[in-house]
Amino acid sequence: MANHYETAFILTPVLSEPQMKEAVEKFENLLKENGAEILNHEEWGLKRLAYTIAGKSTGFYALLQFDAEPSVVATLETAYRRDERVLRFLTFRLDKYAFEYAEKRRNVNLQKKED
């Protein structure tokens, strides 16, 4: 049975825009190859960090929402740990209330893009 998941990760700020997009695509493709369905993908851009990580005070933030089997999360997190471009990551399973909220947020974002 597939669960709903959301993963947010921070990429190092020394990447160019195309390199950042390539890194996000890499993780999306990894999920798809392992049978996950990508529901939403957001790139929040370069943001200031609350505290320095590995000497960096900024980072590229990205968010992926997906449906997958629990074993896929372990594969994704292993890929995060092996990729030197990833400063931090957090993946969690959404309960039904969090999933409903995520759907509402996704619909609001879609309407903003259409306007």
Tally of structural domains, the chain: 1
The CA distance from 24 to 62, in Å, is 7
Q: Give the pTM.
A: 0.85
**Rounded alpha-carbon distances, angstroms, from residue 84 to 21, 35, 54:** 15, 25, 11
CA of residue 72 relative to chain centroid, distance: 14
- CATH number of the domain within which 96 lies: 3.30.70.60
Q: Which domain holds residue 17?
A: 3-114
Cβ(89)–Cβ(5) below 8 Å: no
Three-state DSSP string of 1-20: CCEEEEEEEEECCCCCHHHH
**Rounded alpha-carbon distances, angstroms, from residue 61 to 37, 82, 87, 100:** 21, 18, 10, 22
Over the stretch 46-100, which tens digit does the pLDDT of each residue have? 999 999 998 999 999 999 999 999 999 999 999 999 999 999 999 999 888 888 8
